[in-house]
Homo-oligomer: A and B are copies of this chain.
Amino acid sequence: MAEYIESLRLLAEKFARLEGVGKKTAMRMAFSVLELEEGEAEEFARAILDAKEKIHLCPICQNLTDREVCPICADEERDHSQICVVTDARTVLAMEKVREYRGTYHVLHGLISPMNGVTPEQLKIKELLARVGEGEVEEVIVATNPTVEGEATAMYLSKLLRPLGVRVTRLAYGVPVGADLEYADEITLFRALEGRRDVH
């Protein structure tokens, strides 16, 4: 009986720590690890340690990277006068798939949420203000999710940024209200980008 197998139970617990993994799925994955070849399991363990060790935040845009500065911030072909502000690194991936956006990003690592105890200080907002303060930035596109928290964060940022003389825009409501940007299709994201509007 697997309930008796301590190491299997422990492994399932680790899987269950991951976002969106329930108990049953976690146990299924733990069983699945046992079916891996010996070498594959070792590579898996190594990959976890490697990812944790090598990946850190880009000092400019706060996106995840394994380089000193992330490839987007380091790319001189990109338009550094535009910053697209996103909630997390996964949204950067989704935006990049559109292939229409040529500016840079800024990853907040969360949204302001008094209900969940997330205050502006916990997000990468002061880093964003510092970037804008340097003077090169002309437009900040706030691409937070079209949810209550996403809107509230956009409003908060707008109030801080507009006095600095930059245009603050918001993705158009091409993305369905209440949805997660990560799962938006590329055309929807493209239309939302095209129809972006000023935040007043």
Contact = CB atoms under 8 A, between A and B. Distances in A.
B46 A33 contact: no
A2 B93 contact: yes
Interface string A169-182: 00000000000000
A51 B6 CA distance: 9
* Identical subunits present: 2
Interface residues of A, number: 59
Given A31-B89, A32-B18, A8 B55 contact: yes
Interface of A is mostly: helix
A48 B27 CA distance: 13
Contacts of A34: 51-52, 55, 64
Contacts of A49: 41-42, 45
Interface in A95-115: 96
B14 A72 contact: no
A55 to B, nearest CB: 6
Which among A20, A34, A71 has the greatest number of chain B C-beta atoms within 10 A?
A34
7 contacts: A1-B63, A5-B55, A13-B47, A19-B31, A20-B28, A31-B89, A45-B48
